Structure 1
Amino acid sequence: MTPIFGYSVPGKATAWPALIGVAALFQLVVIPPVTGQVASEPRLSSVEQKIRDYVRAHENDQITLLEKAVNINSGTLNLAGVREVGRLFAPEFASIGFDTTWIALPDAVGRAGHFFAEHKGNRGKRVLLIGHLDTVFEGEGQKFVRLDTLAAGAGSSDMKGGDIVILYALKALESVGALKGTRIVVALTGDEEDAGPLHLVSRQPLVDAAKRSDVALAFEEDAGKGTVARRGFSGWQLTVTARQAHSSGIFQPGTSMGAIYEAARILNTFRERLSGEQYLSLNPAIIVGGTDVTYDSAKISGTTAGKDNIIAPRAYARGDLRFISDDQLQKTRDTMRAIVADHLPGTTASITFEDGN
C-alpha cells in the first residue's frame, strides 16, 4: 500500500473541501494513467463539471449533516455517542451502494467500535478512505455554530467535517456513475483520539483493511493543502519512585529529592533537549504525584493524596510523541531513556513506550 495521503478539512462552511476530496478520488478511481503531453492549462471535462456542480449544489446538505454530527457528544469514552454518529452516517453511505457494518470490540477494550462501509468491484485501485467518529472533547462540549462562512463546534474539523468530505466526494462521483465497479473501503474509527491500552486489538480492523488496499487517503483536518506524509504516533509512560521522608530534610545530603522533583526534572529536560527537533512533538498530558497515587489507563484518569510535610514517594506521567520517521523515533526514545536514567538523589524512574519498548 502506498503512504497515506492527507487532505485538509478546515472548519469552513463551504463546499471546497469536498471538491478537494473529489479531485483526489477522481484521480484514483476514474482517470486512467496519463501518457504523452498534458495541456499547460487543463480544463474540466463535462463529467468533471457535473461533479463540481453536484458538490456546490449540495453545500447546504453538507452543512446540515455536519451540524447534526457535531451536536452528538462523541468523546472517545462516550461509547453511546460514538455509536450514534456511526448510525447517522450508515444510511448516507448505503444510499450510494456501500455495504455498511459496525465492528464491535471486546468489552475489555473499552471503546465503542468502528464504522466501515465498502463498495465492491473490480475496477481501478483498491482505495481506503480513513476518518474517525470520536472527538477529543469529552462531555457536552461546544454545540455547532455558524458565523458567516465559518463553522465551529466540538469535532467540526477534527474530524466530523472530514467524514462529510469523504461522504460527499463519493456522492458526487456516484451522481455521474463514476463509482461503478470501484473497490473502496471507508473506515471511520471510533477511538482515533485514544485507542487505549489494547490498541493492537482496536486497530486490527483498520490494519486488515489497509492490507487489502493499494492506496489510503486520510481526511484529517490540516493546514489547507494535500500532503504525502503524516507523522507517526507513540505513547509513553513515566513511573517515578523515591524514598519517603520528612520534608524538612529535602535539600540535605542523603535525603531523597522526592518523586515529584524527579518527574519535574525529567519532563523539563525532555523540553530542553527535544523542543528544537524538526517535526517532533512531545507532550506530557497527565501527571499525578504524592504519597498515594492511582492511575486508570482505560479511563485516562488518576487520583493522588499526600501531605505538605512528606517527600512524595510516587509520581506518574504520560503523554504522546509524534515523529516524522522511524529513525527520529528511535533517536528520541534513546534520548528520553538517557534523561530518565540520570536520577536525582534517592529516586528511581523508568519509561515505557506504547509498543512496550
Structure 2
Amino acid sequence: MKEFLQTKQTEMLSLLEKLVNIDSGSTHKKGIDEVGGILKGIYEEIGFTVEVIDEPENGNNMVITYPGSENPTMIAVAHMDTVFRVGTASERPFSIEGNRAYGPGVIDMKASQVTLIYALKALKENSPGALEKIQIVLNGDEEIGSPTSRRVIEKYAEGKTHALIMEPARKDGSLVTARRGGGRYSIYVTGKGAHSGIEPQNGISAIEELAHKIIKLHALTNHAEGISVSVGLIDGGESVNTIAPSAAAHVDVRITYAEQAEAIDRQVKEICASSDVAGTTIKLEGGINRPPMVKNEQTIQFLELIKETGDKLGIKVTDVATGGGSDASFTSAMGVSTIDGLGPVGGNAHSVDEYLELPTLVGRTNLLAEVIRKLANK
C-alpha cells in the first residue's frame, strides 16, 4: 500500500490545501458544511454511502458506511471544525516551508481527514473487503465539546470492538491512550448598579460576588488527584465609576477519573447555590460534558497491535497521556477499545504556528491502512 500512497502524495497535498483554505470554525456552519460537501463527494467516489445529519446551527454531521456492510466492527471519528474565526484562511492560507505545511487547522485536523480518505483508497486497491468493517463519523462541533455529535458518535460506536480517533499524533509522533475528562460552566451574577461616587451605598457589586466564587472554585483544584478548576474568562461592570450590576465567568474543569465527575459537579453547584454578597443572584449553566479516556487493558492490547504494525513499516510507535479532550472519551467510556492520535504528526494546534510534518503524511496514512486491514481480519 505504501507504493500506492507514494504515487498519491501530490493529490493528498492538493486536497489538504483545498480544505485548509476553507474557514470552518465551530461557529461557522457554512464553512463546515462546505468542507463536509467536499468530503462527501470523495467518499461517494470511493464507493461509500454518506448519510448527512442536518443540524440547524452547528455544522452537519455525517455517517459513512460501505454498501453491504452488515456488521462493521470499527468506528473512525474525525472532526471538520477548527477553532479559527472567519477570515483566517484568507489571511494565512495553506503554505509549505521546507518539510512543514502551515495554515489554520492543517494538523487539527484537516490533514487527518486526508489521511483517513487515502487510507481507505489504499485499502480499496489492496484489501477491499476491509472497507465493510469500518464505519466513519465526521462531525462538525468537536472543538466546542461535540454538543450535537456526541449522540451520533455514541449511537454508531455501540457494538463496535475498536475506535480509531483521528486527532493528530503528538509532536514526537506518539499516539494518545489517555485523556482527561471535564466540562465547562458559566456563572452569571446580577447585582445592582449605582454611581460609585455619589451613592455607592445603593449599589450591590456583581463583580465582588464573582470574586468570591472564583476564589472558591480555584480552591477545588487538586493536582495530586488530577483535578483542575480554572476560571478562564470573566466579564463584568458597565464603567469604572459604576458599582457593577452584572458579571460573568466561564469555568474549565478537568478530571482524570470518571468517579471524580459527580463530586466536582456537586461542589461547583454548591459554591454557586448561595451568595456571599447579600442582594446578588447567581445563575449557573453547564456541567461535565466529557468523561476521561482511561488507559485500560483493552487500550494496551490495541496499542500492541499498532506497535507491531508500525515495526513492520519502520515506524516506532509510542504513546502518551494528555490533558486535552477529544471524542475518544465517548467511545472509551462505552467500553470500546480506543486509540487516539492516529493522524499525521504535527504541532502548535490552535495557533498561528500550527504545522504538519510533511514526511509523516504518507507514513501515517500507510500505518492507518495497515491497522484497519489487521483489525478487519481479526
TM exceeds 0.5? yes
| Aligned ranges 1:225-304 → 2 under 5 Å | 225-248=174-197, 258-274=205-221, 276=223, 279-284=226-231, 286-290=233-237
1:87 aligns with 2:37: yes
Alpha carbons 1:120, 1:183 under 8 Å: kept: no
Q: d(CA) in 2 for partners of 1:137 and 1:160?
A: 13
Alpha carbons 1:238, 1:351 under 8 Å: kept: yes
Q: d(CA) in 1 for partners of 2:134 and 2:241?
A: 62
| Aligned ranges 1:42-121 → 2 under 5 Å | 51-105=1-55, 107=56, 110-121=57-68
Q: Secondary structure of 2:73's partner? A: strand
* TM-aligned CA distance change 1:331 to 1:55, over 3 Å: farther
1:351 aligns with 2:284: yes
Q: d(CA) in 2 for partners of 1:338 and 1:354?
A: 13
Q: d(CA) in 1 for partners of 2:184 and 2:211?
A: 19
* 1:322 paired residue number: 254
Q: d(CA) in 2 for partners of 1:96 and 1:208?
A: 24
* TM-aligned CA distance change 1:289 to 1:175, over 3 Å: same
* 1:137 paired residue number: 84
Once the two structures are superposed, residues 137-157 of structure 1 have per-residue CA deviations (whole angstroms, 9 ceiling, x without a partner) of 111113212121111211111
Alpha carbons 1:237, 1:351 under 8 Å: kept: yes
Q: d(CA) in 2 for partners of 1:230 and 1:207?
A: 18
Q: d(CA) in 1 for partners of 2:275 and 2:198?
A: 18
Shift of 1:176: 0.7
Report which stretch shifted further, 156-165 or 307-316: 307-316
- Letter paired with 1:241: T
Identical positions, percent? 28
* TM-aligned CA distance change 1:281 to 1:115, over 3 Å: farther
Q: d(CA) in 1 for partners of 2:254 and 2:47?
A: 37
Unmatched 5+ stretches in structure 2: 290-378
* TM-aligned CA distance change 1:278 to 1:59, over 3 Å: farther
Shift of 1:343: 4.1
Structure number having the greater helix percentage: 2
Q: d(CA) in 2 for partners of 1:193 and 1:181?
A: 28
Q: Secondary structure of 1:326's partner? A: coil
Unmatched 5+ stretches in structure 1: 1-50, 291-305
* 1:168 paired residue number: 118
Q: d(CA) in 1 for partners of 2:150 and 2:50?
A: 18
* 1:150 paired residue number: 100
Q: Secondary structure of 1:182's partner? A: helix
Alpha carbons 2:193, 2:204 under 8 Å: kept: no
* 2:155 paired residue number: 208
- Letter paired with 1:89: L
Once the two structures are superposed, residues 285-342 of structure 1 have per-residue CA deviations (whole angstroms, 9 ceiling, x without a partner) of 543323xxxxxxxxxxxxxxx2333211211223443333222222332443344457
Once the two structures are superposed, residues 160-213 of structure 1 have per-residue CA deviations (whole angstroms, 9 ceiling, x without a partner) of 1121221122222222124456222111111222268xx3x5533323212253
* TM-aligned CA distance change 1:268 to 1:64, over 3 Å: farther
Once the two structures are superposed, residues 35-82 of structure 1 have per-residue CA deviations (whole angstroms, 9 ceiling, x without a partner) of xxxxxxxxxxxxxxxx23333332332222111100001112221211
Q: Secondary structure of 1:353's partner? A: strand
Q: Secondary structure of 1:287's partner? A: strand
Report which stretch shifted further, 223-232 or 153-162: 223-232
Shift of 1:97: 2.2
Considering only CA atoms, is the larger Rg found in Structure 1 or Structure 2? 1
Alpha carbons 2:24, 2:80 under 8 Å: kept: yes
* 2:245 paired residue number: 313
- Letter paired with 2:4: Y
Shift of 1:355: 6.7
Report which stretch shifted further, 330-339 or 210-219: 330-339
Q: Secondary structure of 1:329's partner? A: helix
- Letter paired with 2:99: T
* TM-aligned CA distance change 1:133 to 1:245, over 3 Å: same
Alpha carbons 1:266, 1:339 under 8 Å: kept: yes
* TM-aligned CA distance change 1:181 to 1:315, over 3 Å: closer
- The number of residues matched between the two structures is 283
Q: Normalising by structure 1, report the TM-score.
A: 0.69
- Letter paired with 2:247: A
Q: Normalising by structure 2, report the TM-score.
A: 0.65
